[in-house]
Amino acid sequence: MSQKRRVSATQSRAPKRSQIVGDDEDDEDMSFTQPTSSQVQRARENFTTVQIDRKTAEVVQFILIKDQKKVPIRRADIVKHVMKEYKPIYQDIMKRVTRTFEQVFGMKLLEIDSKNHIYILVNKIEPVAGEPVSLYPSNPKTGLLFVILSIIFMKGGVVKEALIWNTLKKLRVDPGEKHDDFGDVKKLVTDEFVRQKYVEYVRIPHTEPLEFEFRWGLRAEKEVSKLKLLEFVAQLHDQEPQSWTQQFREATAAESSQ
């Protein structure tokens, strides 16, 4: 142990991931014109299969990281941070990416906003009872989200914010106070959950003072089973899900359309 030498770990920081992920909350959607088929053909010849495979892997990793934080994935970000000079063969690579998600990971890459080209990953593998290792290790935020989505659903799809805050207060989650698990509750619900597209938080027109209401977000529509949610609520009330006729109809309809 006489001559110790250490390459300074603190200084050599490989910026790989931060470069890939980037800080992209506020940049504009870049212009995205569809290349012609002959352009695509020519572009394809510029890349080897190995290069295309490598790029596909990079896009898959990029999307997985975004999905971990439940941040919606924008086409503009994929192009800007990962595709770069591969942009002419964007469609080709995305086809491979989509196939990889389905075949390897059991996930579906869905475009939830075709105007702004926003994607989310939807899991085709659902949690089941008796898992020896949890598919989704419990996250207190998920529990809170589930409660909020339940309230909205049971109240017919839209609720005034006051109702949400009052219900949470009854559960000893005060939006005005800092919570041990959730931190700033109001920010979590009206900012983080909104950005993740689990809920929509919109101003009710012509209200004075300002009033807001909550609806389900696009991600919730794709990801959360209304039937499971209703079963959960029914269990709490010690009743059958069928007792809520309208909700039951909506939940079963949603189930069969998926």
Give the nearest distance from C-beta 123 to other proteins in angstroms.
7
Q: How far apart are CA 76 and CA 72, in angstroms?
A: 12
Q: Which is nearer to other proteins, 142 or 242 (CB)?
A: 142
Nearest to 113 by CA among 2, 217, 194: 217
Q: Which is nearer to other proteins, 61 or 252 (CB)?
A: 61
Q: Which residues pair with 21 in a beta bridge?
A: none
Tell me the number of residues near other proteins by CB under 8 A.
42
Residue 134 engages other proteins in binding (rule: CB under 8 A): yes
**Binding-residue pattern over the window 66 to 85 for other proteins, x denoting contact by CB under 8 A:** --xx----------------
Query: DSSP string of 159-210?
Result: EEHHHHHHHHHHTT--TTSEETTTEEHHHIIIIIHHHTTSEEEEEPTT-SS-
Q: Which residues pair with 244 in a beta bridge?
A: none
Q: Which residue has the tokens 């572009």?
A: 43
Q: Which is nearer to other proteins, 18 or 243 (CB)?
A: 18
Distance of CA 89 to the CA centre of its chain: 25
Q: Tokens for 222? A: 């794709």
> From start to end of the chain, where are the E strands?
73-74, 107-113, 118-123, 158-160, 178-179, 183-184, 199-203, 212-216
Q: Which is nearer to other proteins, 34 or 103 (CB)?
A: 103
Among 114, 115, 130, 176, binds other proteins (CB under 8 A): 130
Among 36, 37, 103, 256, binds other proteins (CB under 8 A): 103
Name the one range near other proteins by CB under 8 A: 6-14, 142-150, 232-240, 247-255. Answer: 6-14
Residue 106 engages other proteins in binding (rule: CB under 8 A): yes
Among 23, 25, 45, 131, binds other proteins (CB under 8 A): 131
Query: Site residues (CB under 8 A) for other proteins?
Result: 1, 3-7, 9-10, 12-18, 21, 53, 56-57, 60-61, 64-65, 68-69, 100, 103-106, 123-125, 128, 130-137
